[in-house]
Amino acid sequence: MIDKGSKVSIEYKLVLDDGTEVDSNVGGEPLEYEHGTGQIIAGLESALAGLAAGDEKQVKVAAADGYGQIDPEGYHEVELSQVPEGAREPGALLMAEGHDGPIRVHEVKADKIILDFNHPLAGQDLTFDVKILKVD
């Protein structure tokens, strides 16, 4: 059974409340993690405790236990010149040294751009369909 320190392999599908499939490794390489070390989001990790190889479970993770709520402090206004010309449109993704994860262009104004540093799944409730493949 899955307990702190267990090495776990899972197959999963991640779906948003509106039915959009965001991620899946079904038919691909399993996700491997060490239970209790924070390698996967907290809400999913706690729901898998006590399961065994072969078990399947649908796990609903509230935004607060997933990627968090949208933080209004995560929006920053920058000069237009600080964003590459090809990325000056809402939804464009940028990477920056020292920031873990993508930065989204939220809004483009005449001479400024508002960047969103929140995780792309922040504020979203998540549903995982999980199959436990292996527990060591």
pLDDT in tens, 111-127: 999 999 999 999 999 99
Q: What is the pTM of this model?
A: 0.84
Q: Does the residue 2 lie in any domain?
A: no
* 16/51 same-domain check: yes
Q: Does the residue 92 lie in any domain?
A: yes
Q: Does the residue 1 lie in any domain?
A: no
Q: Does the residue 85 lie in any domain?
A: yes
Q: Does the residue 16 lie in any domain?
A: yes
Task: Give the CATH number for residue 41.
Answer: 3.10.50.40
The H or E element that residue 16 is part of is strand 7-16
Determine the average pLDDT of the residues in 7-26.
97
26: left (phi over 0), alpha (psi -120 to 50) or beta: beta
Asked if residues 132 and 53 have their Cβ atoms less than 8 Å apart, the reply is yes
* 19/56 same-domain check: yes
- Domain that residue 92 falls in: 72-116
* End-to-end alpha carbon distance in the chain: 9
pLDDT of residue 100: 82
- Confidence class for position 101, pLDDT limits 50, 70, 90: confident
